[in-house]
Structure 1
Amino acid sequence: MFDRSFLRGLAAVLALFHLLLIAQLPVANAAMLGTAEVLAEQQQQVDREHLLAMLDDQGVQKKLASLGVERDQVADRINSLTSAELAQFNQQLDEAPAGGIIGIIVLFLVIFIITDLLCATDLFTFVKCINR
């Protein structure tokens, strides 16, 4: 039906396509994860969820509304915090008295305003960047 040279050529082309497909696959990289790394990642997630849960408090929402800040903006900023910033903020929160949560949130908003002034973020429309 097919001659031998045609079958050899077809086999060579198929082998070439096979090699090209294998070369395209990404290589898996396995590494051991330490317990400390896993715990730190889990703690970061718990801290982030704790802060986001605090935004649902009525007192916090009233304070945010009085400052003209939307809850979603603060939630986005919390989600963008680095692990060091998140740990520092939660440490300050743990050390604050029970009624000091509002004060901590005001401190957090001041940090947002400073980062807006330095052009690191663009969270508040009423804050103008000083580096322009």
Structure 2
Amino acid sequence: MFTSRVLIFLQVLVFTIVSTVGTAHAAVISNSDHFVQTERQQQLAKVESLFARDVVQQQLVTLGVSPADAMARAAALSPAELTMLAQHMDELPAGGILGVLGVVLVVLIVLELLDVTNVFSGL
């Protein structure tokens, strides 16, 4: 008799604890909050795809920054900063070919001025 009362008491106690611990709290969110969160997730995915490139990861390691730390910093950006970063990523040239051509041109001009080559003498 005593053991059945103890077991019943333990069952009631366990059911009470289990029913109160797992409760969910729901709230209504506005459309603007939803769209801000969705836009942030899209921009963060764009930055993550940029950081996933091998060239970018090698450059980060060269600069002394681990790619994981860079991604953590990007995730911690404010919405305005993340928007600015995502917009500037769209403005950068694909592959950086213009930068490479500029460097090659500067090297050729310097070599021409030092009389190492005669690249521009025929022009």
| CA distance in structure 2 between the aligned counterparts of 1:59 and 1:71, rounded to whole angstroms | 11
- Gaps in structure 1 of 5+ consecutive residues: 1-5, 102-132
Equivalences, count: 91
Shift of 1:67: 1.8
User: 5+ residue gaps in structure 2?
Assistant: 95-123
C-alpha contact 2:48 2:71 (8 A) present in aligned 1 = yes
Is 1:48–1:86's contact at 8 Å kept on the other side of the alignment? Answer: no
- Normalization by structure 2: what TM-score? 0.52
* Higher Rg: 2
| Mapping 1:14-53, distance limit 5 Å | 14-25=7-18, 26=21, 27-53=23-49
| Separation (CA, whole Å) in 1 of partners of 2:90 and 2:5 | 76
2:80 maps to 1:87: yes
Does structure 2 retain, via aligned residues, the 8 Å contact 1:55–1:61?
Answer: yes
Give the distance between the partners of 1:11 and 1:65, measured in 2 at CA. 66
Query: RMSD of aligned C-alpha atoms?
Result: 3.2
- Larger helix fraction of residues: 2
Deviation of 1:52 (Å)? 1.1
Q: Percent identity?
A: 16
Question: More relative contact order in 1 or in 2 (CA 8 Å, sep 6+)?
Answer: 2
User: TM-score normalised to the size of structure 1?
Assistant: 0.49
Query: Which stretches of structure 1, 4 residues or more, deviate above 3 A after TM superposition?
Result: 56-63
